[in-house]
Structure formats: C-alpha cells, structure tokens
Amino acid sequence: MKKKLLVLGVGNTLLMDEGIGVHAIYEFWKEKEDWDDSLVDFVDGGTFTQDIFYLFEEYDNILVLDIVRADHDPGTIYALEEDQLRKDKKQMLSLHDIDLLDSLGMAEMRGHRPYLRVIGIEPEKIDWGTELTPALAEAFPGFLKVIRKHIKEILA
C-alpha cells in the first residue's frame, strides 16, 4: 500500500544555505507526533542521487525541499509544480532537481510515477560552513510554515 506523501529534504549541510532542505527535515523530525506516519514520511535525501528513485514507487506525492536559484532576493520562497520545473527555462535548477526529474522517469518506467512538487528557497551563499547565512536563518521559520501548509494541503 502506498503512502500519500514523501517529504524529501535535499542538500549538503556542509555548504551553508545549500543544506536548507535537510535542515528543514531535521525540524520535522522533532514534530513527528504532529504527523500521521501512516500517510507521510520525512526523509533526509542528502545530496540526492538517482539511486534512491525506488523510494518514489512507495508514494503518491513527493514534496522536495531544496534551494532554487532564480535571481531573486535571498530567502525568497518558491512553490513549484513539476510542469514548472520542466518548462521554465529561466529557472536555475540545482543538480538535485535535474536528478529528481530523471528519477521520476525511472519510477514511471517501473510502473508508478508520483506527483512532484518542490518548495525551494533562494540561497544567499553556498560555501564551506555548517550554518545557514543570516538571510536564510531569518527566512527559515517562514520556509517551514510554507512547507507545513503544502503538507496539510496534500494530506487533506
């Protein structure tokens, strides 16, 4: 039986803002009593590689948490549907997003393609360091709030 939602945080926590998706997953793990684990899983996807595509087969929906570079102010939050990831040539996708689209294709070839949505945030800086930049640290609570809204919407 498939679960309704996989929330997948991706990024490298050793590269400042690049790890914000994983930092968000850590926060959701602290709230595990607030979520029905028969419907939703929260997974640290790290630097996401295509070899975990098999996970997608177990879910109806995938909500990816990641950085998105689109030349807006640091901390700008984006909610992107799968078709926007494919069509918007101006959208600067991270390598994670490209791998995700490929992984969806692989899951589809195996018989099940979940629906993909990305909640992203514009980074300020990607460099060696384990802390978020001040701009993203300030935006982080709002990022979590947007993610919660989308989770509740998908699970409704």
Delineate the domains of the chain, giving CATH numbers in brackets.
3-155 (3.40.50.1450)
Amino acid identity at 59:
Y
Between the CA of residue 83 and those of 28, 87, 88, 108, what are the distances in Å? 27, 6, 8, 16
Q: What is the pLDDT of residue 61?
A: 96
SS3 39: coil
Average pLDDT, the chain: 89
- Contact (CB, 8 A) for 15 and 47: no
* pLDDT tens digits along 64-119: 999 988 889 999 999 998 877 766 555 555 545 567 777 888 888 888 889 999 99
pTM: 0.91
Considering the chain, what percentage of its residues have pLDDT values greater than 90? 66
